[in-house]
Amino acid sequence: MTNTRKTAATTTEPETTATPAPETNTPTVIGPPLHHGQKPEKVVFAHHLRIAGRDFRPGESAHISPDYARQLRGSGYLARGRA
């Protein structure tokens, strides 16, 4: 017994032109995520610190949440900002 099955003709979907997403200049935030309405703070590390599996040496900078910056500043891990 032979099974003869007709297949439906394949339809081609109309091509859609994808518009590129607008570029945002938001930097990558290291550590805990930002809360709603917060802006990342660029900090310079005063001591060696490991955040999210990445090592930061003294003098390196990164963008972190203001709450996390306050916590690290209180612990002495961040360099003092210059006025």
Burial of 68 (0-12, 13-18, 19+ CB in 10 A): buried
Report the pLDDT value the prediction gives residue 5, as an integer from 0 to 100: 76
pLDDT in tens, 12-38: 665 556 666 556 677 889 999 999 999
| Contact criterion met (CB below 8 Å) for 63 and 28 | yes
Report the pLDDT value the prediction gives residue 79, as an integer from 0 to 100: 87
pTM: 0.65
Domain boundaries, given as residue ranges, for the chain:
28-83
Report the mean per-residue pLDDT for the chain: 83
